[in-house]
Amino acid sequence: MQTNSIGTKERAALKCPVCKSPELRATDLEAGLTFFNCPECRGNWLRGAQYWKWLQQHGPNLPQRSDQDSGLSLVEPDIHIDCPECRFRMVKYLVGHGFSFTIDHCEGCKGVWLDRNEWEALRERNLHDDLNSMFTSFWQDAAEKEARKKRLERIYVSRFGPHDYAEIERVRAWLATRPNKQDLLAYLTDKDPFDV
Ligand SMILES: [Zn+2]
Ligand SMILES: [Zn+2]
């Protein structure tokens, strides 16, 4: 047995919940926090208790950043996975905040599965110390609203074309700032505003 494998005497080796067969190996992706990494899909398993301990040592919650995007390659396997420790079906939680990926959470052991580069992407924006908040309905409601907005935006873009959509958004934003918005709208939609 390899020394960096977690197949220690006291517990059986953990298998990747996505690829099924490869054994997860302990890795030091983050100082003071042990992840178990899949050598095949590069996903990471994070134990709930370890995350809480790290979070306490980590200090105050870092302010979120929106200026960081190093273009990390993210994958989102569209499959439901089972917890590698207790076999519970894991629940997908939206991250939001501009990210379209989800993270998987085990309601049993509180462990978290992060696909390749997801932890790194969260860390870039200081969202890596917010995993606990992501599992709340408050966070999920906001993330769902954001996802709904994005879906509708795609529909409008395909309906109007990207140029016209950008133009109408500009006009909308301008209208919103005008005190006589209703008059302007009436003028705009009137078939012939000079035929009074
Ligand atoms: Zn894997
Ligand atoms: Zn579990």
- pLDDT tens digits, residue range 85-128? 999 999 999 999 999 899 999 999 999 999 999 999 999 999 99
pLDDT at 59: 82
Q: Which residue has the tokens 């959470």?
A: 105
Q: pLDDT tens digits, residue range 27-81?
A: 988 889 999 999 999 999 999 999 999 999 988 888 888 877 777 888 777 789 9
Q: Confidence band (pLDDT; 50, 70, 90) for 8? A: very low
Q: Are 64 and 129 in contact (CB under 8 A)?
A: no
How many CA atoms within 13 Å lie on the side-chain side of 169?
10
Ligand closest in space to the Cα of 46? 2
Please tell me the distance between residue 46's alpha carbon and the centre of ligand 1 in angstroms: 14
Please tell me the distance between residue 121's alpha carbon and the centre of ligand 2 in angstroms: 23
Global pTM reads 0.80
What are the b/e assignments for 56-78, b being 16+ CB within 10 Å? eebeeeeeeeeeeeeeeeeeeee
Ligand closest in space to the Cα of 39? 1
**CA 86 to chain CA mean position, Å:** 24
Q: How far apart are CA 115 and CA 81, in angstroms?
A: 11
Please tell me the distance between residue 191's alpha carbon and the centre of ligand 2 in angstroms: 63
Ligand closest in space to the Cα of 114? 1
**CA 20 to chain CA mean position, Å:** 23
Q: How far apart are CA 194 and CA 196, in angstroms?
A: 6
pLDDT at 11: 59
Tokens of 122: 């969260």
Please tell me the distance between residue 139's alpha carbon and the centre of ligand 2 in angstroms: 22
Please tell me the distance between residue 23's alpha carbon and the centre of ligand 2 in angstroms: 16
Ligand closest in space to the Cα of 104? 2
Q: Are 125 and 65 in contact (CB under 8 A)?
A: yes
Number of neighbouring beta carbons within 10 Å of residue 5 = 14
Please tell me the distance between residue 71's alpha carbon and the centre of ligand 1 in angstroms: 22
